Structure 1
Amino acid sequence: MLLDDASAEFHDFFERHYAELARFAHLLTGETDAADDLAADALLALWQRWDRLRAADHPLAYARGVVANLARTRIRSAVRERRRVGLFWSRHPEKTAGPDVAAVLDVRTALGRLPFRKRSCVVLRHAFDLSEKETAAALGISVGTVKSQTSKGMAELEQLLGAGVVGALATGRRTR
């Protein structure tokens, strides 16, 4: 089967960026299966608009934005579902004395505690090494918002994980 130019370009785009988009979705949602689905759904949305996107300056930034929006929708839906289940099963919620130390030490759990925009900025800036400008383009926000959300997100992670762990994460060093 011969592919036309647009199909060949999209196939090449898919091959080059699917894994990265899936990793991005995984870091946003914390769910491996959902990450694959979100990356596939984002690429399907891109394929439907590929005639316009192939001429764009940054189709990958657009793809990251689509993944971020799909992840946000999935997270919001899951939160609503948990609330419904919680209301149904628990008349008197249990109170805990303090934070779960094991959960605080887990970076994924700590990322999951950040609001979506802060988490997106931190993940794109530090896990994917995107510039502030690239992060802003991917999320459809200003560079100033990227700077402030990244700074605030890192400060919150520092409170949750400790300064040493966050410093190592930001510089790419591994901790024990």
Structure 2
Amino acid sequence: MEYRFLGCSGLQVSVLSFGGWVPKGSGHGEDVVHECMRTAYEAGINCFDTAETYMDGESERIFGRAIKKFGWERKSLVVSTKIYWSGSGPNEFGLSRKHIIEGAKASLERLGLEYVDLIFAHRPDDLTPMEEVVRAFNWVIEKGWAFYWGTSEWSAEQITDAHRIAEKLGLIGPLMEQP
């Protein structure tokens, strides 16, 4: 397997990753997902990607059970999750400080992990001030719940804005973008 540095960090990720998006009712049982994850891991894939919204959080639970079942050392994995949608209540979606922090904590509980390597803002949130988003993801990093944060389906202008604010505040800007 080939590995590359993620952005301008020292973190090495496999050029292929294993994604955990499986639609409900697809007929893919947990045993099948675990077998696919095992095959990917044995092929050298170290990056496993999921999100709080995939199968209403069940994807994270399945990933966590696989990690435990196979006894994989946490240091051998790069685990990512994404925050934006977790429910229909007014504070259960978006990128408010409240949702980022509560969403990250809930994801860790579902995964059964102390931290994720990467945490993504799953979509941009035009209703939440960018400074709040940047500060909240930095809080998650400072707590040790994630090592890096990034974006998913953000525009170049939004990413630039996040970097500008992070630099102004002496904080960490987004490292990666998942289109």
TM-score, with length taken from structure 2: 0.27
- The structure richer in strand per residue is 2
Higher Rg? 1
TM-score where L is the length of structure 1 = 0.27
Could you say which structure has the higher helix fraction? 1
